[in-house]
Structure 1
Amino acid sequence: MTGQKRPRVLVIAEAANPDWVSVPLIGWSLSQALRDVADVHLVTQVRNRDAILAAGLHEGTDFTAIDSEALARPLWALAERLRMGEGKGWTMVQALNALGYPWFERLVWKRFGPAIEAGEFDIVHRITPLSPTIPSALASRCAKAGVPFVLGPLNGGVPWPPGFDAERRAEREWLSYVRSAYKLLPGRGATLRGAAAILAGSWHTASEIPRRFRDKVIYLPENGIDPRRFNRIADPPEDGPLRAAFVGRLVPYKGADMLLDAAAPLLRDGRMVLDIVGDGPARSDLQIQARFLRIDKGLTFHGWQAHGAVQDILANSHILAFPSIREFGGGVVLEAMALGVVPLVVDYAGPGELVTPGTGIKVPCRGRDEIVADLGDALQRLCKDRGALPMLAQDARHRVDALFLWSRKAEQIAEVYRWVRSAEGPAPEFF
């Protein structure tokens, strides 16, 4: 539909915080990018209020903070106890969030339902939660009011690959064995029927949407890049050893232990150096492994670092070595690509979708021993000849600029908004 004015969009992002990472940063970044293409009012949870005020938004005009702490706080505390370890048991956290989230939406409808029914908003868009397991009562309510409801991007639930049950248990992912039961939960069907568009952050999530709703499913990875934060171009030394970096939480499924095994011969003889940025429950085991492999000389554990320091380390690296075997989004892969650091990843889930031929290096997702062997072969080749890396780095940066800047993602979603308002033609495609 041509000649449409900027849509008035009520953006619901229960998690939206400029000071945090992962889902809250996605909720914040996307909601703010959308202000360039729409008149946005953000609705979020009260825990984000102070950070949003500090970022310069005006409460009541730019955003509303919903206080659902009476239920959210005890559920979060319970999840922290049940997960039995920092950074573990994520499926448990999502399950308990699913219990508390309907109360948040009930409060949202109490505050904004009359305005939605009165036509004060052209679109309602729920960005977070990202999990496809959490239904939305607002979808059917908006449909009854004649206001298009956009859901997503949704992502999560990528199956554990065969051969990694030990890592699955180490992550305390007990509920992952019965995760598919969410498809039977009340409200899922109504959510999918009521949504005018469903943004799927991964092809796996898209595949879980019932076929009768596929005509409104749009593939759109949830992660994006802010060029103000990633504003350098990597410039690693032309001579000397291959410089690799791993950035992420040190938990079993991220695969840092496989990387150490694969890189050990190269680290011992000085052909490669490796920076590990991040922390987590697996750090002590990784340090013991490093001593056993006698690779301490070529390996540095940096722990958690501020954003600028992480960028400095990446910008001095030839490759990001990131063999995660169950990564939903893979934001760090995009961040490396934006800097011109070539990603070396396992071809599975988020990283496998973000890295295409010509923009990085992928090894097949097989058993642990096979991944270690394939990683070792790839690293050996790069140590012998780094000639392909500059072109890969350049094309990786071009891919990010074309598809994954937050400004570009806002333009993509603006096309979705035009489509749901016009109700004409097939759903837009971007990939």
Structure 2
Amino acid sequence: MKIVLVSSNAGTDMGGEAIKAYQYFDYLLRQGYDAVLLTHARNRRGLSRDFPAERLLFVEDGPVQRTLWQSRFGAPLVSTCFHLLAARLIRARFDPAATLLHYLCPVSPVEPRFPPQGFETVMGPFTGNIHYPPDFADRETPRGKLRARLHRPAQLLFRKLAPDKRQARHVLVSGYARTRRSLAWAGVPPERMSEVVDSGVAEAIAARPPARHVGRSTEFACSGRQVDHKGTDLAIRAVAESREGARLTVYGDGPARPALEGLARELGVTERVRFAGWRPHGEVLDGIAAARGYVFPSLAEANGIVMQEAMMLGVPVLALRWGGPGHLASDDAALYVEPGEEAAVVAGLAAGMDRLICEPDFADGVARRARAIAEARFAWSAVAASWAACYPAAARQAAAERRAAGIVGDRA
């Protein structure tokens, strides 16, 4: 049985969702699955470097998609357009009797995928239905607030108009109770949902020796697309409140960066906050590994792949107890701050940074416990195996036979 992995983004240079799709596709090939990745043409360069052309299928970027992308009101339809074009390619190239479609990214449990008729499907893992904490609700954009209000009505509507998730063979859930509620509104029976970890950590990261925390260190890191929900401004404010001279390197870029740079100037911490911009993933990992702590004050994070990576690197994480990050570590394996009023959050982050600076033994203990959790829960082999476990027995048997015959790791 052929597996067609459908993911609008896939690669190592486009953030968490894209990395997740890349790693899982690589896993399928290494395990002997007869797999094809169907993705957008913007991912062609990086994927063609790493995988054979016959294992890749691209939705080309036509005039309709470009028009939608450039339109203020049409942009939300870009993914819908991708899935409609993907369905056309699937119908033209694959036999429904011998093909399983796995819709991976995006992770929204609402967005319809429009699989072609007659094909068996697996969907997820889904992590959506995440919104700002109540004390930060005024920061959410009008579009975000509207999306939150329309979430349940949209699921009830799509339950009838686009019943893709209701009709799927299996739906993977990594967004905990909030996502199970959303999928229930969409009509997915509980027995067809499976709880899984949202993403894994690459073998190359797991193979790194864990960081060791000795002596005094004032270095901290944060990363990601610079948009409001990442909460980078809270990290910068915490640097300004730090009594021990905390320093922060911010990896990533985005529309919020100019305002964040202005905030650093306003608070007088430009010498202690460095904006590194977009850097290769390996370079970001090196920066995190060299830090005393990783600051992750995201206000609407469905999972937190970079937090999983920091834990595997042996770096203490400071995060809000909200959304996905609140489920990734135990209370003694991360420094959690309750998502209350902004001043209290900033003070909590600053206090955590100062403690990590001054107490290397404490930092090392947190890091060791975080590493143990990461090794037990986040290794890609275990995470990916839990996803593939919901495939039909015929697909898993075929993969086992290909492995036995040495047909694995089908890469360029």
For the criterion TM > 0.5, the same-fold answer is: yes
| 1:178-214 Cα deviation digits (max 9, x unpaired) | 4414214445662233111101121121221217612
In the other structure, the counterpart of 1:286 is: 260
Q: 1:385 corresponds to which residue?
A: 359
Q: Is the 8 A contact 1:320 1:343 kept in 2?
A: yes
Tell me if structure 1 keeps the 8 A contact 2:315–2:367: yes
Among 307, 317, 320, the alignment partner of 2:294 is: 320
**Structure-2 residue corresponding to 1:43:** 38
User: Are residues 1:247 and 2:227 paired?
Assistant: no
Q: Are the counterparts in 2 of residues 197 and 420 from structure 1 also a CA contact under 8 Å?
A: no
The AA in structure 2 aligned to 1:71 is: V
Q: What is the total number of aligned residue pairs between the two structures?
A: 390
Task: Specify the code of the residue in structure 2 equivalent to 1:103.
Answer: L
Does residue 190 of structure 1 match 2:163?
A: yes
Alpha-carbon distance in 2 for matches of 1:50, 1:380:
43
Change (3 A) 1:281 1:236: farther
Inter-partner Cα distance in structure 2 for 1:294 and 1:320: 22
CA deviation map 1:95-115 (0-9, x unaligned): 3135414422431342245x1
**Which position in structure 2 is the counterpart of 1:264?**
240
RMSD in angstroms over aligned alpha carbons?
Answer: 2.9
Give 2:196's aligned residue. 220
CA distance in 2, matches of 1:103, 1:136: 8
The alignment status of 1:401 with 2:379, answered yes or no, reads no
SS of residue paired to 1:417: coil
Pair 1:237–1:297, CA change in 2 (3 A): farther
Tell me the amino acid that sits aligned with residue 259 of structure 1.
A
Does residue 389 of structure 2 align to residue 415 of structure 1? yes
Contact 2:214 2:360 in 1 (8 A): no
Q: Which amino acid aligns with 2:189?
A: F
What runs of 5+ residues in structure 1 fail to find an aligned partner? Answer: 1-6, 83-91, 423-431
Q: Does 1:124 align with 2:101?
A: yes
For 1:369 and 1:417, locate their aligned partners in 2 and report how far apart those are by CA, in whole Å.
48
Answering whether residue 172 of structure 2 is matched by residue 199 of structure 1, we say yes
Q: Is the 8 A contact 1:157 1:179 kept in 2?
A: no
* In structure 2, distance between residues paired with 1:77 and 1:231: 42
Are the structure 2 counterparts of residues 12 and 297 from structure 1 closer, same or farther at C-alpha, using a change threshold of 3 Å?
closer
Q: CA deviation at 1:286?
A: 2.5
Going from structure 1 to structure 2, the CA distance change for 1:51 and 1:321 (only over 3 Å counts) comes to closer
Please list, as runs of the form range in 1=range in 2, the aligned pairs for 1:25-424 lying within 5 A after superposition.
25-37=19-31, 38-59=33-54, 62-67=55-60, 69-78=62-71, 81-82=72-73, 93=75, 95-112=76-93, 115-116=95-96, 119-121=97-99, 123-138=100-115, 141-142=118-119, 147=120, 149-169=121-141, 173=144, 175-180=146-151, 181-186=153-158, 190-203=163-176, 204-210=178-184, 213-228=189-204, 231-235=207-211, 238-266=214-242, 270-417=244-391
Change (3 A) 1:152 1:176: same
For 2:155, the aligned partner's letter is: K
Aligned to 1:88: none
* Counterpart AA for 2:175: S
Residues in 2 aligned to 1:218 and 1:359: alpha-carbon distance in whole angstroms: 26
Q: What TM-score results when the alignment is normalised by the length of structure 2?
A: 0.84
Name which of structure 1's ranges 185-194 and 309-318 shifts more when overlaid on structure 2: 185-194
CA drift at 1:278: 2.2
**How far apart, CA to CA, are the structure 1 residues paired with 2:225 and 2:79?**
24
Q: For residue 236 of structure 1, report the CA deviation from its aligned partner.
A: 5.8
Mean Cα deviation higher: 149-158 or 104-113: 104-113
Matched residue SS, 1:249:
coil
- Offset at 1:151? 0.6
Displacement after TM superposition at 1:419 (Å): 7.2
Q: Structure 1 vs Structure 2: percent identity of aligned residues?
A: 25
Contact 2:248 2:273 in 1 (8 A): yes
Question: In 2, Cα distance between the equivalents of 1:202 and 1:324?
Answer: 16
Partners of 2:21 and 2:104 within 8 A in 1: yes
| Partner secondary structure for residue 36 of structure 2 | strand
- For residues 124 and 291 of structure 1, do their structure 2 counterparts lie closer, same or farther at Cα, with a shift above 3 Å needed? closer
406-415 or 235-244: bigger deviation = 235-244
Name the TM-score, length of structure 1 as normaliser. 0.80
In structure 2, the partner of 1:85 is none
In structure 1, what is the Cα distance between the partners aligned to 2:377 and 2:175?
Answer: 15
- 1:332 CA drift (Å): 1.3
Question: Relative contact order (C-alpha < 8 Å, sep 6+): which is higher?
Answer: 2
Q: What are the Cα deviations for residues 236-267 of structure 1, in whole angstroms up to 9, with x where unaligned?
A: 6622333321122222222222222233242x
CA distance in 2, matches of 1:297, 1:403: 38
Asked if the contact 1:241–1:271 (Cα under 8 Å) also holds between the matched residues in 2, the reply is no
Give the deviation of 1:177 after TM superposition.
Answer: 4.6
Shift of the 386–139 alpha-carbon distance from structure 1 to 2, 3 Å rule, reads farther
Q: Secondary structure at the match of 1:108?
A: helix
